[in-house]
Amino acid sequence: MREQILSSMEAAMKCTVFDKDIDKTSFSHSQIQVGLERVTHGYDWIKRVVDYECKFDIQENYDSSKPTAIIPIRDCGEIITMCMESMKKTNTFDLINVIIVDDRSTEDIKKIANKYQVSYLRIDHKSTFNFSMLCNLAAKVCHDLGNTQIIMWNADLYVSDKVNLERLLEKHNKNNASLSGTKLLYPPLEYSTSNNEDTENILRYFPQMAGRWRGTIQFGGDAWVQTNGPINSSPIHDKRFGQPEEADVDRSARFVTGAMQVIQLDKFVEMGGYNPSLEKNFQDVDICAHIGDVWYFGKDIEFYHDESPSFQKHNNKQGPQIESDHVLYGLLNNG
């Protein structure tokens, strides 16, 4: 099925911006995207073209020999500020460049980028939040700037000691990984934008863990379960809510979460980036399934992941696009 879909819809399954010559400071891109809409007899394909308008301001000390962290956000200034502050306190800016990718915010996210002296990419369009395309467009800028590595870094992912990133990059390079990730823990209260002990995400989706989830594993590697839904073998987070030492291993993996992925940029571009039609979910799993040399490095490395505060704010964790991503990923990867 994957070959059939790619042969007939390749322009919607791969980001076509990588084939274009652009002016990095200001450019536009029209991307074909498809989705699946539920109807009485099953699902119908829906095709649309989304026009993205991009404006880029580069940080003064941008060094293309360093990896670049790509951090998409829409509003949620307190979350991206927490992320930037954790990098500042730990001197993580010494190791990487940063591009904050602003999806049509009404809040002044550029002011935050300027405060922390990082790069800023503003993207305007008339569609839904598309994590894949926000990352792809930033990756195109990085590629044209001469980067060789990028890091997909969620805005709600925080670093407590830069040695964690140093170790991750060292292991990624030593093992010649195409794509790698690491152990993520639920954060202590000091690394949370909420003063409440339990977040809305926990209370809604994991109520059984109320009061006892902080400091436990959010992502401890990949695991898979058989289901009767659109996906035959469904990816899940291994060791979730376990103790950190349970995921203190290095191993090859079938996927690592897109909350943090270190990626060889040439491989990413060769793949056509994240699938632009997997807008919110499964783009991270999908690329891992086909890029090769994927690793989970969890030994003596950990980051904090506050999981879904921006999704909760924008009510993006459910809805038709989430269902479309689920079904499309199944069509592409079942079998």
Q: What is the mean pLDDT of the chain?
A: 95
User: pLDDT value at position 265?
Assistant: 98
Of the chain, the percentage scoring pLDDT greater than 90 comes to 93
Closest by CA position to 214, among listed 237, 193, 243: 243
DSSP H helices in the chain: 2-13, 77-89, 109-115, 131-145, 163-174, 200-205, 265-270, 283-291, 309-314, 320-333
Q: What is the pLDDT of residue 309?
A: 67
pTM to 2 decimals? 0.96
Question: What CATH code is assigned to 2-333?
Answer: 3.90.550.10
pLDDT for residue 193 is more than 90:
no
pLDDT tens figures, 16-53: 999 999 999 999 999 999 999 999 889 999 999 999 99
pLDDT tens figures, 85-132: 999 999 999 999 999 999 999 999 999 999 999 999 999 999 999 999
Q: Residue ranges of the domains in the chain?
A: 2-333
CA distance 100 to 119: 6
